[in-house]
Amino acid sequence: MIVTARRAAGFCLLLLLALLGNATWVQAYRADTYDHMSGNRRPQIVRYQQPRGDILVADAPITGSPHTAESFDLAYGRSYTDGPLYAPVTGYASQLYGTSLLEGVEDDILAGTDPRLGAWPVITAVTRRRAAAGNVATTILPAAQQAAFNGLASTGNKGAVVALDPTTGAILALVSTPSYDPGAVAGANKGARAAWAALDGDPDRPMLNRALRETYPPGSTFKVVTAAAALASGTVADPDQPTTTPDPYPLPETHTLLGNEADGCRNASLRYALTVSCNTVFAKLGVDMGAEVMRRQATAFGFDDPKLRVPVAVTPSVFPKSPDRPQTALSSIGQFDTRATPLQMAMVAAGIANDGEVMRPYLVERLTRHDGSTVRGTERQSLARAVPAPVARRLQRMMQDVVTTGTGGNARIDGAIVGGKTGTAQHGEHNRAVPYAWFIAYAKPSPDAKPTVAVAVVVEDGAADRADITGGGLAAPIAKAVMTATLSR
């Protein structure tokens, strides 16, 4: 009898140990797998059992978490103030379709699952206990954001605007049009499903963040990068001396002649070539320097960086990997396979304005707990030194000439120092599509002041007359409005 009891007890002990082992395995190693299994609604139910944290602009919330009667399980929904205006910043938090942009990358803070939100982070991480949701404070300047949004909307075309503080890298405006209201897809009802289907099937792709996730041929705005390479490499010692450039310029090893829209480009100086945007001078400079020099200069401004985060992931801008000589000529004027996001071209303008130092762009100023105490702040970081300071200052003066006497006159601001560069990027089969209009610029209140803002604007083709699609005509006024709003703060 005693032996039988002992055997039964031992067997029970083994069962208990097996149970504990399996529970530990599930809790410690398999929990994440079960959390993400299709059909498991528990994570969604837990996520929306408490109000979600807010995304802040100028310390004011642009999101909300109203209690909803739509579903007993999903107690709190998501709402957005000025949803289309800030959608390229916030993204969406949907009970059906997940999260995107800041709602996605800062989800742990907003959902209250980040261990740093608790009083004892290590214990919170082990117990996986949810804290009160935290908030995400952005760097966006409302006046600049509104000016960029209104400017793009006035064109009636698709496009994007990015404005940066050149000295810190803080993103002051981030706009993409057409936009959408993320509140329309936040719920779990039929209306949310219909809205998602409409947005997903829209050929204009309103949920695409064109400022961060779309690359365009940068056109003549890329000539600023080529000019930087020419000055930094010593290929051009004096920007006011004539170059030896024919007009038209025969692309090497081809019978193709590259011409200009502007007059006076034959043997033009680098300064004049940038002011009136001579294709021939910059194409020849690119060939003279070679593809590798051009690549290094582009990389120094941030091109070809697959790891750039703001903290939202950014699609890499690219300079062609192994272009031949005629391709190098076209790449050096922002054509062929050179592609750039609006953020990247804003970084180019910001780097020049900041005496050659490119700051790492960022969109989140700080993460906070529910009581407002800081979880993590963002410190400014240098991304790269693109060009030496003397070279950057020469480029600043050349870009100012573009605005005062060249193609960028529509960006002139009374009482402020403005430097810029226009761009009209050809694309499509045989370059017959309506071109993209570009403008990059920087501004500061006085000659000796630090730069206040750098901005990049791109306006896609659309219903506008082809003759009106120019960087100076369409994009420069938008940049001016954004810079004016920033200088007035």
Domain residue limits, the chain = 144-180+210-365+380-488
* Mean per-residue pLDDT over the chain, rounded: 90
Query: pLDDT by residue (tens digit) across 69-109?
Result: 666 677 898 999 999 999 999 999 999 999 999 999 999 99
Q: What is the mean pLDDT of residues 400-417?
A: 94
The residue with tokens 């003397």 is: 390
pLDDT at position 357, please? 97
End-to-end CA distance of the chain: 89
Please spell the DSSP secondary structure of 214-272, one letter per residue: --B--GGGGHHHHHHHHHHHTS-S-TTSBP---SSEEPTTSS-EE--SSS--TT-BHHH
Show the tokens assigned to 176: 């993409």
Nearest residue to 162 via CA among 151, 173, 146: 173
Is pLDDT at 123 greater than 80 in this prediction? no
Q: Are 451 and 354 in contact (CB under 8 A)?
A: yes
The Cα 93–Cα 187 span in angstroms is 9
How many residues are there in the chain?
A: 489
Q: Are 342 and 211 in contact (CB under 8 A)?
A: yes
pLDDT at position 25, please? 74
Query: Active-site residues: which are they?
Result: 220
- 253 C-beta neighbours (distance < 10 Å), count: 9
Q: What is the mean pLDDT of residues 124-152?
A: 88
Entry pTM:
0.89
Give the residue, 471 or 258, on which the prediction is more confident.
Answer: 258
Q: What is the mean pLDDT of residues 288-307?
A: 96
Please spell the DSSP secondary structure of 383-396, one letter per residue: EEE-S-HHHHHHHH
Give the residue, 464 or 441, on which the prediction is more confident.
Answer: 441
Is pLDDT at 22 greater than 90 in this prediction? no
> Residue 220 phi/psi, 5° resolution?
-70, -15
Nearest residue to 279 via CA among 319, 220, 325, 231: 220
Q: Are 337 and 318 in contact (CB under 8 A)?
A: yes
What is the identity of the amino acid at 473? G
Q: What is the mean pLDDT of residues 319-336?
A: 94
Give the residue, 42 or 185, on which the prediction is more confident.
Answer: 185
Show the tokens assigned to 261: 């829209």
Going by the DSSP 8-state scheme, the letter that residue 182 receives in this structure is G
Q: Percent of the chain beyond pLDDT 90?
A: 74
Q: Are 171 and 139 in contact (CB under 8 A)?
A: yes
Is pLDDT at 356 greater than 90 in this prediction? yes
- 226 C-beta neighbours (distance < 10 Å), count: 28
The rounded radius of gyration (Å) of the Cα atoms in the chain is 27
Is pLDDT at 158 greater than 50 in this prediction? yes
Lowest mean pLDDT among 276-280, 363-367, 422-426, 456-460: 422-426
Which runs of E-coded beta strand occur in 92-131?
A: 93-94, 98-99
Torsion 265-270-272-275 (CA) sign: positive
Query: pLDDT by residue (tens digit) across 185-220?
Result: 998 889 999 999 999 999 999 999 999 999 999 999
pLDDT-derived band at 8 (thresholds 50, 70, 90) equals: confident
Q: Percent of the chain beyond pLDDT 70?
A: 90
Is pLDDT at 249 greater than 60 in this prediction? yes
Q: What is the mean pLDDT of residues 463-484?
A: 77
pLDDT-derived band at 429 (thresholds 50, 70, 90) equals: low
The Cα 314–Cα 213 span in angstroms is 6
The Cα 103–Cα 118 span in angstroms is 20
437, containing H or E segment? strand 436-444
291, containing H or E segment? helix 291-301
Distances from the Cα of 462 to the Cα of 20, 204, 433, angstroms: 64, 11, 10
Q: For residue 182, is the peptide bond before it cis, meaning its omega torsion is within 30 degrees of 0?
A: no
Going by the DSSP 8-state scheme, the letter that residue 318 receives in this structure is B
pLDDT-derived band at 431 (thresholds 50, 70, 90) equals: low
Q: Are 219 and 438 in contact (CB under 8 A)?
A: yes
CATH architecture for residues 144-180+210-365+380-488: 3-Layer(aba) Sandwich (3.40)
pLDDT-derived band at 424 (thresholds 50, 70, 90) equals: confident
pLDDT at position 36, please? 65
Q: For residue 311, is the peptide bond before it cis, meaning its omega torsion is within 30 degrees of 0?
A: yes
Q: For residue 250, is the peptide bond before it cis, meaning its omega torsion is within 30 degrees of 0?
A: no
pLDDT at position 468, please? 46
User: What is the four-CA torsion angle of 459, 460, 462, 466, rounded to 10 degrees?
Assistant: 80
pLDDT at position 284, please? 96
Residue 34 φ/ψ region, left for φ over 0, alpha for ψ in the -120 to 50 degree band, beta for the rest: alpha
Side-chain half-sphere CA neighbours of 255 within 13 A: 0
Going by the DSSP 8-state scheme, the letter that residue 15 receives in this structure is H
Is pLDDT at 467 greater than 50 in this prediction? no
What is the identity of the amino acid at 335? Q
